[in-house]
Structure 1
Amino acid sequence: MRESLRITEIFHSLQGETSRMGLPTVFVRLTGCPMRCTYCDSAYAFTGGKTVAIDDIMAQIASYGCKTVCVTGGEPLAQKPVHILFKRLCDEGYSVSTETGGGQPIDAVDPRVSRILDIKTPKSGELKNMLWANVDAVNERDEIKFVLVDRSDYEWARDLVREKQLHQKAPVIFSPVWESLKPVDLAEWVIADKLDVRVQVQLHKILWGEKPGV
């Protein structure tokens, strides 16, 4: 039997987040997630989807003629065959990133993949499910992301960055929850506190709104 993954969607768009913001990218969105963050913008990927052979996934990616790929979810690391996909993509010369919610081990991910580690804040509702060993596993190829609901989330994340010196492990991103925390407020807090972090807005939502396939 050919190895396969449960897929919600595969599409070609612009990367709206991380240091790759603005780059044309093929997104592979896997189905299923063990977390239920209060602000989740991809809850449609919790269930459904279809089982697709990795050979067919590779063929669809190739059809877009784009060498940058983001494997996301849901929670991509919850499906073990994803590691086969990572290896296939890297072996074929793709520049690959993956976005993980932090509750699954990241140490088994192919070292050629850039791991975007989302550290869950108190207001996410999923802080209890963070696997803190992942923070020790990140390196300069990776990125650490905090999705922030309000000022209390910001202060929690700020203090953690300072305590753990996270900006020395990997680039750190602070991202406001869409229509919950004003980006200008977050920007002013970061400047006032002299934090060595990147403030991120979600480019794809600014361009196309909050919907699947972008």
Structure 2
Amino acid sequence: MNNSELNINEIFYSLQGEAREVGLPTVFVRLTGCPLRCTYCDTEYAFKGNNLLRIDDIIAKIKSYQTKLVCVTGGEPLAQINCHILLDRLVKENYQISLETSGSIDIKEVNPRVSIVMDVKTPDSGEADKNRYKNIEKLQAKDQLKFVIGSKSDFDWSVNILNKYPTPAGVLFSPTFGIVAPTQLADWILERQLNVRLQLQLHKILWGDQQGK
């Protein structure tokens, strides 16, 4: 791979299913590869593949859709160093960009105009030991911090992390799909009077686990 290429799993146009822009038409650029293996992962198909695309061609594909919203996701997009080149190009093209990252890789080099949506891996994910908590300190009000909750113990652990690492970023609590009922998580949030947003995965409500949606 040279500095003008990225290994791409898929580029598709859909409604944003999560975070602040939920429901809005968005172009998704899914990069191949991830160093983590979360128990609840719903994009295992993106772990492997060899589909090198020139960044110019990626930009051209994005421009074929009538939206200025772009979500760069994975896998773990920051596992490919050239991801920063793509993000910088999208900023220059005046796109509104969100970057979905596990938080296991340092975010300090991410273009400041990119909105970061960062996971904190809960114990039930099996990857909590990979969390880079110093990343939370780098988040700003434009960014979002997401916890995928798989149990009441996950919920309590997440509350403790928020207390330990306060952040100006928006905070999302999302139930592990098919494991924790959304109403149960809603009750837990209200019982603790947390200032967090309950996040459901709109794309799964609409299309299930269909790839490219």
TM-score bin, normalised by smaller chain = over 0.9
Whether contact under 8 Å (1:9, 1:49) holds in the other structure is no
Q: Alignment partner of 2:97: what SS?
A: strand
Structure 1 spans left out of the alignment, 5+ residues: none
Paired residues for 1:85-104 under 5 Å? 85-104=86-105
Q: Alignment partner of 1:26: what SS?
A: strand
C-alpha distance in 1 between matches for 2:74 and 2:85:
16
C-alpha distance in 2 between matches for 1:46 and 1:2:
21
- Corresponding residue number in structure 1 for 2:65: 64
- Corresponding residue number in structure 2 for 1:52: 53
With normalisation by structure 2, the TM-score equals 0.97
- Letter in structure 1 aligned against 2:35: P
Q: Alignment partner of 1:32: what SS?
A: coil
Whether contact under 8 Å (2:136, 2:165) holds in the other structure is no
Query: Deviation per CA, 1:6-34, whole angstroms, max 9, x where unpaired?
Result: 00000000000001100100000000000
- Corresponding residue number in structure 1 for 2:180: 181
- Corresponding residue number in structure 2 for 1:198: 197
C-alpha distance in 2 between matches for 1:203 and 1:193:
25
- Letter in structure 2 aligned against 1:98: L
- Letter in structure 2 aligned against 1:204: H
Q: CA deviation at 1:132?
A: 1.4
Whether contact under 8 Å (2:173, 2:198) holds in the other structure is yes
Is 1:157 paired with 2:158? yes
C-alpha distance in 1 between matches for 2:185 and 2:100:
22
C-alpha distance in 2 between matches for 1:7 and 1:185:
37
- Corresponding residue number in structure 2 for 1:124: 125
Whether contact under 8 Å (1:31, 1:74) holds in the other structure is yes
Whether contact under 8 Å (1:14, 1:22) holds in the other structure is yes
Whether contact under 8 Å (2:14, 2:28) holds in the other structure is yes
- Corresponding residue number in structure 1 for 2:212: 213
Q: CA deviation at 1:64?
A: 1.1
Percent identity over the alignment? 50
Paired residues for 1:4-15 under 5 Å? 4-15=5-16
C-alpha distance in 2 between matches for 1:105 and 1:149:
25
Whether contact under 8 Å (1:9, 1:28) holds in the other structure is yes
C-alpha distance in 1 between matches for 2:184 and 2:130:
28
Q: Alignment partner of 1:102: what SS?
A: coil
